[in-house]
Amino acid sequence: MILDVQGLRTGYGRIPILNGIGFSVDEGEFIGILGHNGMGKTTLLRALMGFLPPTSGRVQFAGTDITALEPYRRARLGLGYVPQGREIFPGLSVYDNLRMGCAQQSGGQEHATIANVLEEFPRLTQLLDRPGSALSGGEQQLLAIARCLCGKPRLVLLDEPTEGIQPSIIEEIVETLQRLRARTGLTMILVEQNLDFIAALSQRILVIQKGRITQEVKPDELHDASVVGEFIGITT
C-alpha cells in the first residue's frame, strides 16, 4: 500500500466538502475517481496534495503520515499533481516548462531526466522551443503530465485530463500512461468524467457523492446501462 486515507474531512471556510473520505491505493495501481460536478473530486486531490488543510482524518503516504505536511514536502516524498486546467507556464518554452519540473535536481540530472521523460512523449520533442501558449490544448496537457513526471513522482494525482482535448490526443494520453505503468510501475489517482477514458486506465473506480466514497465499480461495469444511468451528465 502506497496511500492510505482515513476519515478525511475538509472544505472551504465553513463549507464542508469532504465528509469522511476513506480509501487506499496499492503501489503500481491506477485508481479512478468518478462523480458529478461538485461532489468533491478536485477537492480530494487538492487535499491529498496538501493545498487544503484537513479538519480531521489522516493521510499516510509510503509509510509516512503526511496529514500536516506542506505541498512541497509531499512533492519531495514523491507525490505529483497535474491540476485541472493544466497550469503550464505559457510564457516559457516547452523545454523550460520541463526544467521547472526538475527544480530539485542538479544540472546534469536535469538534462538526463528530461531526456528520459521525452522518450515517453515523442510529440513534445518537436516542440521544445515553442512557448507553452502556442500549444494546442492537448499538447499542453501532454506537457503538464510530462512536467509532473520530471519530478520523478511515485504517485501522480491527475485531474480531468481530457477536458477540451481532441480525441487523437486523448488516445495518445491513454497509450502513454498505460506504457508508463507497465515500464515504471507508476501509481495514479485519476479524476475524470469521460467514461471511456477512465475505464481504459483504471483498475478500479471509486464513486464519490457529496464528499463520500459511496461505492466501487469495475471498469467493465461502466458499459452497463444500469450503472451508467447513475451518472447522467457524465460523458461517454
Residue 105 or 211, more confident: 211
d(CA 22, CA 210): 14
Q: What is the mean pLDDT of residues 25-49?
A: 93
Amino acid at 164: G
In the predicted structure, residue 191 carries a pLDDT above the cut 50 = yes
d(CA 175, CA 172): 5
- Domain ranges for the chain: 3-230
In the predicted structure, residue 180 carries a pLDDT above the cut 60 = yes
d(CA 176, CA 192): 17
Q: Give pLDDT tens digits for 9-34.
A: 999 988 899 999 999 999 999 999 99
The pLDDT of residue 232? 44
Q: Are 39 and 90 in contact (CB under 8 A)?
A: no
Residue 66 or 233, more confident: 66
Contacts 24+ apart (CB under 8 A), 218-221: 219/32
In the predicted structure, residue 195 carries a pLDDT above the cut 50 = yes
In the predicted structure, residue 228 carries a pLDDT above the cut 80 = no
Proportion of the chain above pLDDT 70, given as a percent: 93
Distance of CA 31 to the CA centre of its chain: 10
Q: What is the mean pLDDT of residues 64-79?
A: 94
The pLDDT of residue 226? 54
The pLDDT of residue 107? 60
| Beta-sheet strands, E only, within the chain | 3-12, 15-25, 30-34, 56-61, 64-65, 79-82, 155-159, 187-191, 204-209, 212-217
Q: Give pLDDT tens digits for 120-172.
A: 999 999 999 999 999 999 999 999 999 999 999 999 999 999 988 888 899 99
Task: pLDDT band for 187, please (50, 70, 90 cuts).
Answer: very high
Question: Which of the residue ranges 35-49, 93-107, 117-131, 154-168 would you say has the lowest mean pLDDT?
Answer: 93-107
The pLDDT of residue 157? 97
CA-CA-CA-CA torsion sign (130, 132, 134, 138)? positive
Other residues' Cβ atoms within 10 Å of the Cβ of residue 3: 23
Q: Would you state the CATH architecture of domain 3-230?
A: 3-Layer(aba) Sandwich (3.40)
